[in-house]
């Protein structure tokens, strides 16, 4: 695994970002966290602020000068800064485009100018769009179904072009429904798992969009951390300048998810087992089913995810119970 490097983590105060900062620090690296705290939170990085190996750079990827200053002195870039959420992008496509495309381009230019050799970035399973093939294989995608999906696909195109034109080695990681500790349960665009956990803890009925038969490949954060570090450290030239699915490789319906969450949470509060579930309308831009093939990541990056959905949910519920 990677060690003794200076790694710039954009969006380092966010959910995946702060966990990545911790993993990199634990492996003996120096970390520069670049965040504007629009969606990230200082409480996610409070445990690192006193570390001499950790530097906080407060700035915005939409500002080219901030990007240049943040990258200076780094060996590697892990670019996680983005405005996530399909509904957010539908409500405000301009802001999503500015952060996810213009900000991404600013970071690539800064990496080129500062001589960065490895640029690993967060891609997205939303890139598969209206493709109905299952499992999702990296080389078979459809048309995007949301502005967010457009931005994440453009990231892949820009990364490929920058390798071809400027020689920067890039790796895109198509994350599939990541969940785990430090994921924010609050706000209009909260992810489904932390939102459901919080509702159950408060004895509120979770609201499932649609009939609950839509399925997802839910991916625990520790699986993501494994592949983030592998992508930053791999010496396999065949593994570079491409994209990978990041998932566990199992499909779970929303109905099954909520049933599992209720079972786990009821171990802390037995009243949760009797909370009814509410079904609402389908959400615009949602794909019906998502299941990843992770064979490419296994073969080229030696990715071996350790946490199943249930194992990850047990750890997540415990964390929320102790921290909310």
Sorted by where each begins, the domain ranges of the chain are 6-180+218-248
> Which CATH number is 6-180+218-248 given?
3.40.50.720
- Rounded to whole angstroms, the Cα distance separating 297 from 305 reads 10
| pLDDT for residue 252 is more than 90 | yes
- Which residue stretches of the chain are H helix? 15-26, 64-71, 86-91, 93-97, 103-113, 147-166, 192-201, 221-233, 254-265, 295-301, 309-323
Query: pTM, whole model, 2 decimals?
Result: 0.95
Interacting residues of 264 by C-beta distance below 8 A, sequence separation 6+: 310, 313, 314, 317
Model confidence at 289: pLDDT above 80: yes
Residue 290's nearest CA partner among 171, 139, 136 is 136
Peptide bond before residue 135 is cis, with ω within 30 degrees of 0: yes
Average pLDDT, the chain: 95
Q: Which residues carry out catalysis?
A: 148
Q: Tell me the pLDDT tens digit for each residue of 20-38.
A: 999 999 999 999 999 999 9
Q: What confidence tens digit (pLDDT) does each residue in 57-98 have?
A: 999 999 999 999 999 999 999 999 999 988 899 999 999 999
What is the predicted pLDDT for the residue at 41?
A: 94
The mean per-residue pLDDT over the stretch 124-142 comes to 94
Query: With 80 as the cut, is the pLDDT of residue 287 above it?
Result: no
User: In angstroms, rounded to a whole number, what is the distance separating the alpha carbons of residues 219 and 96?
Assistant: 24
For 216, phi and psi rounded to 5 degrees? -140, 160
């Amino acid at each position: 695994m990677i060690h003794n490097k200076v790694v710039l983590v954009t969006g380092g105060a966010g959910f995946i970002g702060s966990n990545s900062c911790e993993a990199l620090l634990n492996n003996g690296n120096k970390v520069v966290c670049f965040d504007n705290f629009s969606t990230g939170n200082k409480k996610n990085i409070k445990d690192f602020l006193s570390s001499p190996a950790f530097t906080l750079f407060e700035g915005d990827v939409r500002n080219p000068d901030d990007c240049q200053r943040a990258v200076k002195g780094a060996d590697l870039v892990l670019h996680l800064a983005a405005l996530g959420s399909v509904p957010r992008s539908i409500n405000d496509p301009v802001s999503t485009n500015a952060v996810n495309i213009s900000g991404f381009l600013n970071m690539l230019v800064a990496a080129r100018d500062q001589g960065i050799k490895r640029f690993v970035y967060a891609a997205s399973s939303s890139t598969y769009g209206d493709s109905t093939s299952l499992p999702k294989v990296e080389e078979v995608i459809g048309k995007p179904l949301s502005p967010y999906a457009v931005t994440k696909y453009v990231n892949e195109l820009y990364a490929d072009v920058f390798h071809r034109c400027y020689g920067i080695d890039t790796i895109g990681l198509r994350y599939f429904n990541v969940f785990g500790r430090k994921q924010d349960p609050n706000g209009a665009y909260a992810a489904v798992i932390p939102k459901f956990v919080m509702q159950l803890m408060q004895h509120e009925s979770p609201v499932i969009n649609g009939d609950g038969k839509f399925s997802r490949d839910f991916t625990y954060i520790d699986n993501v951390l494994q592949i983030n570090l592998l992508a930053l450290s791999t010496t396999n030239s065949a593994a570079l300048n491409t994209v990978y699915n990041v998932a566990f490789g199992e499909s779970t319906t929303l109905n099954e998810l909520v049933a599992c969450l209720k079972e786990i949470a009821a171990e802390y509060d037995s009243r949760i087992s009797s909370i009814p579930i509410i079904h609402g309308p389908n959400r615009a831009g949602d794909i019906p089913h998502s299941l990843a093939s992770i064979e490419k990541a296994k073969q080229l990056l030696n990715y071996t995810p350790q946490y199943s959905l249930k194992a990850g949910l047990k750890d997540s519920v415990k964390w929320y119970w102790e921290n909310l």
